Amino acid sequence: MELSERQKEILQSIIETYIRTAEPVSSKFLEKKYDFGICPATIRIEMQKLTDDGFISQPHTSAGRVPTDRGYRFFVDNLLEKGFLNKDYNFEAEDLFEGELTDTVKFIQAVTKNLASFSSNLALGYLADEKILWKEGWEEILKEPEFREEKLVFDFTEMVKSLEKEIDDLQINSEVKVFIGRENPWSKAKEFSTIVTRCQLPKKEEGILAIIGPKRMDYDKNIGSLDSLIKLLGKI
């Protein structure tokens, strides 16, 4: 469905705030934080419309709203179509990989480690020709508030295992692909998102790079970092 410009602005503000705070976003907060040029009652009406249309939801009895898969999808599609909101995402890695270009294994290890550090999510690097896979960033990702729930920790590890098993069959190309919640083609993934791309490594070997984390991840930064990394690899 088509959203009005006002609804897009409110939805974007809700998603950006929720990504940053991990707390449901109330109309009162939006009124204080943002200048939409409308009265508080109109903000509440627009939020209710966004709720009715499935872009945001009201968890439990909270007065605030959180993004749904549909809301995140609208947000991500807007990033991909119109360009990124945050311009500080570039993954400047030339100096990080200096001296590693002759060894593809060491190269993808370095890429994966630095991608995890840059994104603060779990990063996965797969060397397709040699069937070798690396995972970096467990310590940081498990600090996210979502993982205070033991079930989500279990689901996340099961999702990663499922991804590992099916990675050779993953239908992706050199464009950055984003799977949100139930869009993920592997099990136990409804609370998580995956940003993934296929790439060509030094010596023309094929690789897959992915960032995996809660749906409340920083899509702007993470999509941008993978996109800039693919462009960097294309220059090497």
Give the C-alpha separation, 125 to 146, whole Å: 24
Whole-number average pLDDT of the chain: 88
Q: Quote the pLDDT of residue 84.
A: 53
Encoded amino acid at 218, one letter: D
Ranges of the chain whose pLDDT falls below 50: 85
Q: Quote the pLDDT of residue 89.
A: 57
pTM above the 0.85 mark?
yes
Tell me if residue 165 falls in helix, strand or coil. Answer: helix
Length of the chain: 236
Sign of the Cα torsion 99, 104, 110, 115 reads positive
CATH 3.20.20.70 fits 5-67, yes or no: no
Give the Cα-Cα-Cα angle 192, 198, 203 (nearest 5 degrees). 140
Q: Quote the pLDDT of residue 68.
A: 97
Q: Quote the pLDDT of residue 201.
A: 84
CATH topology of domain 104-235: Beta-Lactamase (3.30.450)
Domain boundaries, the chain: 5-67, 104-235
Q: Would 5-67 and 104-235 be classified into the same CATH topology?
A: no
